[in-house]
Amino acid sequence: MASYNRVILMGNITRDIQLRWTPGGTPVTEVGLAVSDRRKGQNGEWIDETTFVDVTFWGRTAEVAAEYLSKGSPVFVEGRLKLDTWEKEGQKHSKIRVVCDRMQLIGSRGGAGGEGAPRNPTQAPAAASTAVHQQHDDYGADSRSHTIDNEREASGFAQDEIPF
């Protein structure tokens, strides 16, 4: 049987990000994402529905999230669903979360206090315009490939230096 597990969400971070590391040294953070939907009800009035989703960032994506995002920051997330199960006090629990494979910062590219501006003012704001791609398996192996959306910017050549 074929299957496809892909999630694309855009919403706002619900709490400040706490960066942690696995015993192997891989950065990880779990955030809450509020995703709102607006629709017309039966009486014709607009109804706002907000869904809260837990998202896990690994590796460089977690570091970028901790650097540039805070409570209320808008973000675009692409990833996959993962079911967590555990037992506590004899009761079985489960929860679905999103494991992020790709994150895109949304908002301004700099400026004091704007979304996308680094929390540490000594850091350059250029990273706010990058998309971070990452793959992570469930066993802690971290194979990261980071890309900048604009390949010409990534090449280090100025626009007029490109030979084609």
- Domain harbouring 39, CATH code: 2.40.50.140
* Tokens representing residue 13 in the block: 């971070």
Positive or negative, the Cα torsion across 128, 147, 36, 12? Answer: negative
Inside any domain, residue 1: no
What percentage of the chain carries pLDDT values higher than 90? Answer: 60
When pLDDT is cut at 50, 70 and 90, the band that residue 107 belongs to is confident
Inside any domain, residue 38: yes
When pLDDT is cut at 50, 70 and 90, the band that residue 62 belongs to is very high
Distance of CA 18 to the CA centre of its chain: 14
Is pTM beyond 0.75? Reply is no
| Residue 77 near residue 98, CB atoms below 8 Å | yes
Inside any domain, residue 142: yes
Inside any domain, residue 2: no
pLDDT tens for residues 112-145?
344 445 554 334 333 434 455 544 444 344 433 3
For residue 96, what are the domain limits? 7-161
- Looking at the structure of the chain, the number of domains it has is 1
